[in-house]
């Protein structure tokens, strides 16, 4: 029983130490941002610059996600606590709770919905174009492979069936029956057909 209590307290203590160490890593990136802003005089907030540096280090895999995951999770869990002072500060400005305040909140709400709508439509358009490009590349690749295969069989791009009659080999999106009959005749390999 005592050993279990000691083991649990040790695990809890190690988790607390690990979380504190990870928060210190996040603070180090913040203070690197402060240092860069002080030296260069950039018109950027130090916290944003530190966040960009952290993202760059994560992207380059100089800092692993595991090094900051628990510390960042701890800070995110208590993030709503950091919004309390601004909300309490609204009490000092009662005009924000009047008609003007509601108009301000309405405009923020509408602009947020507008931004979400535009972002979703743009991402849908980009995804659709990417899928079309992928389909075109796959189809062109299949045609190229078919042509190479036919050229290996005969240089005049025709293939002979079982009765020694010339049958042109084509791959077309509009003629799936013809492609199936060619496949059954053994003139095309299965990976040369379209989906």
Residue spans per domain, the chain = 2-119, 123-192
Residues 127-162, buried b or exposed e (16+ Cβ, 10 A)? Answer: eeeeeeeeeeeeeeebeeebeeebeeeeeeeebeee
Question: pLDDT of 104-155, one tens digit each?
Answer: 888 888 998 998 999 889 889 988 988 888 888 888 888 888 888 888 876 5
Question: pLDDT of 85-95, one tens digit each?
Answer: 777 777 777 76
pTM beyond cutoff 0.85: no
> C-alpha 53: how far from its chain's center?
19
**Which residue is listed with tokens 């380059």?**
60
* pLDDT, mean of residues 65-94: 81
Q: Which residues contact 182 (CB under 8 A, 6 or more apart)?
A: 159, 167, 169, 188
Q: What SS3 state is found at 158?
A: strand
């Amino acid at each position: 029983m005592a050993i279990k209590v000691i083991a649990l307290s040790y695990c809890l203590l190690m988790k607390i130490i690990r979380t504190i160490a990870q928060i210190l890593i996040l603070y180090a990136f913040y203070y690197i941002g402060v240092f860069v802003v002080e030296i260069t005089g950039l018109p950027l907030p130090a916290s944003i610059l530190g966040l960009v540096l952290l993202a760059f280090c994560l992207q380059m895999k100089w800092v692993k996600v595991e090094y900051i995951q628990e510390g960042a999770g701890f800070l995110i869990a208590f993030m709503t606590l950091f919004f309390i002072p601004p909300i309490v500060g609204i009490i000092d400005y009662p005009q924000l709770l009047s008609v003007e305040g509601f108009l301000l909140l309405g405009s923020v709400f509408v602009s947020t919905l507008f931004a979400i709508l535009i972002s979703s439509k743009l991402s849908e358009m980009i995804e659709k174009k990417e899928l079309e490009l992928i389909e075109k590349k796959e189809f062109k690749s299949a045609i190229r492979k078919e042509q190479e295969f036919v050229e290996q069989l005969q240089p005049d791009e025709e293939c002979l069936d079982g009765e020694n009659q010339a049958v042109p080999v084509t791959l077309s999106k509009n003629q799936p029956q013809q492609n199936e009959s060619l496949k059954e005749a053994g003139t095309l390999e299965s990976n040369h057909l379209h989906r």
